[in-house]
């Protein structure tokens, strides 16, 4: 697994993918956080980082599939997947290695945003007038969310050898899991069941963590959904033996 992980990280760092993803993410979140008047912290007047944590999931919804679309699709198209499968490593090792490499890149894109926290913390009146627990919960939620999006992206890439198709499928599933259940729950026909439907989506649990309350049920949800898509990827890999 670690051999695959190193290979994928080196592949990212030797191409423009890592730098473009981190650059686009920081540029977009920076503009919304500090420049655009409708969302700028400076114009808002409160020591709050909700702008970052509201826009970041939507950025990840497109950027993470862009990272993961090549994980298996490129290997299949170039024929190197057969060489990889002959190595003395299991399918799960391959999947986890690629998953952790992509997740690591997403977390790396988040790290520079800690400067935003320091800035808001310093600019507060008095200094430090910010809900640090909520910020920590939101960062944890972002990492868990990135984990699910990465698992979905790897799953989509395993379905096809076309990277564009893998990207589109991953974006669709990420949107469905993140916001689709909330939209479905908003339909009047469900009645009291709508609350249960909303709990199936990422948004419900992400918002709960953003309040600074780390509930084991929310953590279990994120881990379970990511594991489900990784197991689905393993089934796709094993289907070559059927």
Q: Which pLDDT tens digits describe the chain residue by residue (242 residues)? A: 788 888 888 887 787 878 888 899 999 999 998 888 888 887 877 778 888 999 999 999 999 999 999 888 888 888 777 777 777 888 888 899 999 999 999 999 999 999 999 988 888 778 778 888 889 999 999 999 999 999 999 999 999 989 999 999 999 999 999 988 888 888 877 777 888 888 889 999 998 888 878 889 999 999 999 999 999 999 998 886 65
Note the pLDDT of residue 143. Answer: 95
Note the pLDDT of residue 1. Answer: 74
Supply angle C-alpha 143, 148, 152, rounded to 5: 140
Environment class of 172 (CB within 10 Å of its CB; exposed 0-12, middle 13-18, buried 19+)? middle
Note the pLDDT of residue 241. Answer: 62
Note the pLDDT of residue 60. Answer: 94
CA distance 212 to 197: 23
pTM score, whole prediction: 0.91
Note the pLDDT of residue 240. Answer: 67
How does 16-47 read in b/e, with b if 16+ C-beta sit within 10 Å? eebeebbeebbebbeebbeeeeebebeeeeeb
Note the pLDDT of residue 202. Answer: 92
The number of CA neighbours under 13 Å toward the Cβ of 67 is 36
């Amino acid at each position: 697994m670690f051999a695959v992980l190193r290979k994928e990280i080196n592949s990212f760092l030797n191409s423009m993918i890592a730098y473009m993803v981190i650059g686009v993410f920081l540029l977009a979140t920076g503009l919304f956080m500090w420049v655009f008047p409708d969302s700028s912290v400076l114009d808002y007047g409160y020591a709050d980082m909700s702008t970052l944590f509201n826009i970041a999931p939507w950025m990840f919804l497109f950027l993470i599939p862009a990272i993961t679309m090549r994980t298996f699709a490129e290997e299949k198209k170039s024929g190197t997947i057969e060489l990889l499968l002959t190595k003395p490593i299991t399918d799960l090792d391959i999947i986890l290695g690629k998953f952790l490499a992509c997740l690591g890149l997403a977390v790396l894109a988040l790290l520079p945003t800690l400067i935003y926290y320091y800035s808001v913390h310093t600019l507060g009146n008095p200094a430090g007038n910010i809900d640090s627990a909520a910020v920590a919960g939101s960062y944890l939620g972002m990492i868990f969310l990135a984990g699910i999006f990465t698992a979905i992206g790897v799953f989509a890439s395993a379905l096809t050898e076309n990277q564009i198709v893998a990207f589109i499928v991953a974006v669709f599933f990420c949107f469905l899991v993140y916001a689709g259940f909330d939209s479905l729950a908003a339909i009047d026909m469900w009645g009291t069941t709508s609350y249960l439907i909303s709990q199936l989506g990422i948004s419900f649990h992400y918002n709960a963590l953003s309040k600074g309350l780390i509930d084991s049920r929310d953590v279990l949800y994120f881990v379970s959904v990511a594991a489900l898509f990784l197991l689905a990827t393993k089934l796709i890999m094993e289907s070559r033996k059927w």
